Structure 1
Amino acid sequence: MTSHVQTFDHGRVRELRLARPPVNALDPALCRALIAALDAAVAGDADAVVLSGTPGVFSAGLDVPHLLSLGEDRHALRAAWGAFFGAARALAGLRVPVAAAITGHAPAGGCVLSLCCDYRVMARSPDPARPYAIGMNETQVGLAVPDGAQQLMRRVIGRHRAERLLVAGRMVAAEEALRIGLVDELADGDAAVARAVAWLDDLLRLPRAPMLQTRALARADLIQALDPEHLHLDRFVEGWYEPDTQAGLHALLARLGKG
């Protein structure tokens, strides 16, 4: 167990639970902890992994207050984004199957991490009037979505639908996410992890080597999408300092009560 990622074993499946209150915001420390926990899982006796969050939130995405606190330090900003995409690559390239138990809202980076998994189980909100939502809402706060991250969504829901969601920065509620294929299954909130474990257990009943070889071929495009050459982080960092972007990010901080 690390300070930011809790570990639970369910037979052959290891659950890695993001645990950075209040919303599992992805700062470099959490990203590094996730990479270390994934490495430990495959180095140990885990045959599959579940990535989960806390009730009500899977991950709210990158830690914007932390990123803004870096000011004009472009090197530190690039390193922070690099740590996040390093965690995404670690998930995508994991040599054992991994399922996401999306235990609540999953905007931006939370959505990206879920799309790096083989299978996505999303929790239903206990309040039907306030469903959990998932999506890449970057443009609503003034950020462009790197091409590599866009490709993750395209491969799951198709190019046209992905374009509509990405350009508008629109989040979708759990039921719509299931309908369009952004998630694979819905479950009552406290059952999301159990359903993710059950899906992995079924997969692990297959002959191991053929399953893993087929999986590796099927996911090659996912790994390629997260190659640094498709992310253009230097260009992204420069865009971070555009006036529209800064205005959107500071407006977000004000809404969070941290401005």
Structure 2
Amino acid sequence: MIQTHAADGIVELQLARAPVNALNPQLCDELVAAIRTAVDQGAQGLILSGNTKVFSAGLDVPYLLSLGDDRDAVMAAWQSFFAAALALAQCPVPVVAAIGGHAPAGGCVLALCCDYRVMARSEDTAKPFRIGLNETQVGLVVPVGILRLMQRVVGVYRAERLVVAGEMVPAERAERIGLVDELVDAEDVVSRAREWLASLLALPQPVMLQTRAIARADVVAALQPENIQLSRFVDAWGDPATQSALRALMARLQK
């Protein structure tokens, strides 16, 4: 589920779970393993990419709903996701998110855990690619740690407005408010991510990496258990109102 492309010390990890890179436990576990392997084999920087329409559609909601009342299985699935987010956050080398399409919910979380975000412009200006934390639209409370990731890049008040409304932000606005760092044509997303990494890797490495670790300590802290409170989150997931909202969402998507 992860395709690896390596060149000049930079490794691209491409999410490859058709059709929309929905994050089930297998994909999350493979991402953690791919990050570890790339670093162990000497990667100096990583690119996390998806496909040309969707970076990642977030958690695999049909899979999670199929687990029914099996709380342990639901808990394990969410643990796999947050482990993948943490692996990106605490990766010892820089990671760029090459966002070639939509990035809702969990897809946005993974992007926020990266050092830098390059997003694609949609060829159809009437249908821009969007990114955001839309959890409230399906009855989920955003964990404190995930809110902090959003606050870190767009500011406290703007994060409040976006997260409370569950807003999916068009790419052009996402760039203006700092939710993504650059907006480029779709065919240039990965190459631009590579260029940005190359410029960073041209710096004296020990100094750059130590400074980066200091600057990103808050990203790692945001994903610690006390800031996610996974047990409480899973309880909210099982709430009948949340389940009803999720099933209604699935019905709309199937249409």
Alignment TM-score, normalising by the size of structure 1: 0.97
Higher mean C-alpha deviation, range 83-92 or range 247-256: 247-256
Give the structure 2 partner of residue 54 of structure 1.
51
Higher mean C-alpha deviation, range 10-19 or range 201-210: 10-19
Q: Which AA in structure 1 matches 2:17?
A: R
Q: CA deviation at 1:107?
A: 0.2
CA distance in 2, matches of 1:61, 1:180: 22
Give the structure 1 partner of residue 162 of structure 2.
165
CA distance in 1, matches of 2:225, 2:105: 18
2:245 pairs with one of 220, 245, 248: 248
When the two chains are superposed, the root-mean-square deviation of aligned CA atoms in Å is 0.8
CA distance in 2, matches of 1:12, 1:39: 15
SS at match of 1:104: coil
The alignment of Structure 1 onto Structure 2 pairs a total of residues equal to 255
1:202 paired with 2:212, answer no
Q: Which AA in structure 1 matches 2:175?
A: L
CA distance in 1, matches of 2:130, 2:155: 19
2:32 pairs with one of 21, 30, 35: 35
Q: CA deviation at 1:126?
A: 1.2
1:23 pairs with one of 4, 20, 25: 20
Moved over 3 A (4+): none
2:125 pairs with one of 102, 124, 128: 128
Deviation sequence 1:51-91 (CA, Å, 0-9, x none) = 00000100000000000000001011011000000000000
1:181 pairs with one of 178, 182, 198: 178
Q: What runs of 5+ residues in structure 2 fail to find an aligned partner?
A: none
SS at match of 2:176: helix
SS at match of 1:57: coil
Q: Does the CA-based 8 Å contact 1:122-1:186 persist in structure 2?
A: yes
CA distance in 2, matches of 1:168, 1:195: 31
Q: What runs of 5+ residues in structure 1 fail to find an aligned partner?
A: none
Q: Does the CA-based 8 Å contact 1:10-1:197 persist in structure 2?
A: no
1:144 pairs with one of 123, 133, 141: 141
Matches within 5 A, 1:73-112: 73-112=70-109
CA distance in 1, matches of 2:33, 2:10: 17
Deviation sequence 1:222-244 (CA, Å, 0-9, x none) = 00000011101100111112222
SS at match of 1:45: coil
Q: CA deviation at 1:45?
A: 2.2
Q: CA deviation at 1:144?
A: 1.1
Q: Which AA in structure 2 matches 1:170?
A: E
CA distance in 2, matches of 1:244, 1:162: 25
CA distance in 2, matches of 1:237, 1:15: 32
1:226 pairs with one of 223, 228, 232: 223
Q: CA deviation at 1:155?
A: 0.6
